[in-house]
């Protein structure tokens, strides 16, 4: 029996675009990448543009700020095959300590879910 429109609209799995991805670097595990939530974007914005920045940041400070912003989003977009979050905000320091190219690639794939290529062509 087909799900009702109400069931579909209220389904956690249907609230965000998502894609299944195999991660070869992690022993071929399959993960679900979801587009970032509005809350994650707000946290990202707080990291990227904090209200108390005085003057220009050094290259090192900008790199660290950008890393922290990426980790904020990465924690929000990575799910296991059952659709459960892999990390919580409490895992921030652990993720930040090891965040690298594999994590960045996965985040980029999740961010690409926010803009459909066909939608982008029409603009």
pLDDT, greater one: 56 or 61: 61
pTM for the full model? 0.85
State how far the Cα of 37 lies from the Cα of 39, in Å rounded to an integer. 5
pLDDT tens digits, one per residue of 62-115: 999 999 999 999 999 999 999 999 999 999 999 999 999 999 999 999 999 997
pLDDT of residue 99: 98
Lookup: tokens for 7: 């069931």
- Here the tokens at position 4 are 């009702």
User: What are the tens digits of pLDDT across the range 7-43?
Assistant: 888 887 788 999 999 999 999 999 999 999 999 999 9
Domains of the chain: 14-51+64-116 (3.30.2220.20)
Across the beta sheet with 29-34, the strand order is 18-23, 29-34, 78-79
């Amino acid at each position: 029996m087909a799900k009702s429109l109400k069931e579909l609209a209220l389904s956690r799995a249907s609230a965000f675009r998502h894609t299944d991805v195999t991660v070869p670097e992690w022993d071929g595990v399959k993960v679900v990448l979801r587009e970032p939530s509005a809350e994650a974007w707000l946290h990202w914005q707080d990291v990227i543009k904090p209200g108390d920045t005085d003057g220009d940041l050094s290259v090192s400070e900008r790199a660290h700020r950008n890393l922290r912003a990426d980790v904020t989003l990465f924690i929000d977009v990575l799910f296991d095959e059952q659709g459960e979050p892999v990390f919580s905000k409490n895992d921030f320091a652990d993720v930040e300590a090891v965040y690298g190219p594999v994590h960045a690639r996965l985040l980029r794939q999740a961010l690409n879910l926010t803009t459909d290529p066909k939608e982008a062509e029409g603009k």
